[in-house]
Amino acid sequence: MEGKFAISESTNLLQRIKDFTQSVVVDLAEGRSPKISINQFRNYCMNPEADCLCSSDKPKGQEIFTLKKEPQTYRIDMLLRVLLIVQQLLQENRHASKRDIYYMHPSAFKAQSIVDRAIGDICILFQCSRYNLNVVSVGNGLVMGWLKFREAGRKFDCLNSLNTAYPVPVLVEEVEDIVSLAEYILVVEKETVFQRLANDMFCKTNRCIVITGRGYPDVSTRRFLRLLMEKLHLPVHCLVDCDPYGFEILATYRFGSMVRFCYKI
């Protein structure tokens, strides 16, 4: 059984999951050990904004899993358990974080890293991002200023309280009705700087939107910033420390998370 699937629209993902699981069942019913082949990559992120464990580079090799070795059997078991949860999320049009998935069966998964690896295997196996699986990040970013929008039916009206911090939305695809009177967007590296600007009523005297990822920016913060750039067509300024870590954060906002791995190669 070959584990590589061609990239297709997310609407076909459920069918591909069904085909994959059926092939596993057929192998078991006929007394064969399932053989799952997962590509290995030098870089880990096909989509710089998705932060998943895929790559647009050519694979440098393959890992082949069967039921003949106990460690591989456990890894297949975890992959199928997580894949079942992903299938339910897609069928019910729900979203969950990796942490949510871990707490669904903590005694089986044993550690968060087991879930993380299984999700990475699924991304590579089906050549998709975590967002195609309805697995989302836990939002870490904050936003304030001359902005209001809706996310999944919830209203975020920063205009009513310009210097109040609001959480960056996790479901960026469901953000709509974006309205802004800002003249520019200011991205700050540190939460302490963000809070200082809030305390100084910075947005009251400056028509801007202020965003922070609280250090290294998570996927949701980067994707939300990109959405604002595309919808509002505003200039973006970034305030970071003048050191290698600050420049890395600046490059991540600009180019995506793959830049981190490029530095290490």
Contacts of 13 (CB under 8 A, 6+ apart): 90, 126, 128, 132, 133
CB 265 within 8 A of CB 57: no
Question: What whole-number distance in Å separates Cα of residue 118 and Cα of residue 82?
Answer: 7
CB 98 within 8 A of CB 119: yes
Choose among 50, 57, 16: nearest CA to 132. Answer: 50
**pLDDT (0 to 100) of residue 174:** 84
Could you give all domains of the chain from N- to C-terminal order, each with its CATH number?
A: 10-135 (1.10.10.10), 142-264 (3.40.1360.10)
- Residue 114 is encoded by which pair of tokens? 């087991």
CB 115 within 8 A of CB 125: no
Instruction: List per-residue pLDDT tens for the chain, 265 residues long.
Output: 444 443 345 568 999 999 999 988 998 888 888 888 887 764 444 454 444 444 445 556 677 877 877 888 888 899 999 999 999 998 888 888 888 898 898 888 988 889 989 998 898 888 888 878 888 776 689 999 999 999 878 899 999 999 999 989 888 888 999 999 999 999 999 999 999 999 999 999 999 999 999 888 888 899 899 999 999 999 999 999 998 888 888 988 888 765 444 444 3
CB 16 within 8 A of CB 23: no
For the question of residue 216 being annotated catalytic, the response is: no
**pLDDT (0 to 100) of residue 5:** 41
Residue in 74, 103, 245, 263 annotated catalytic? 103
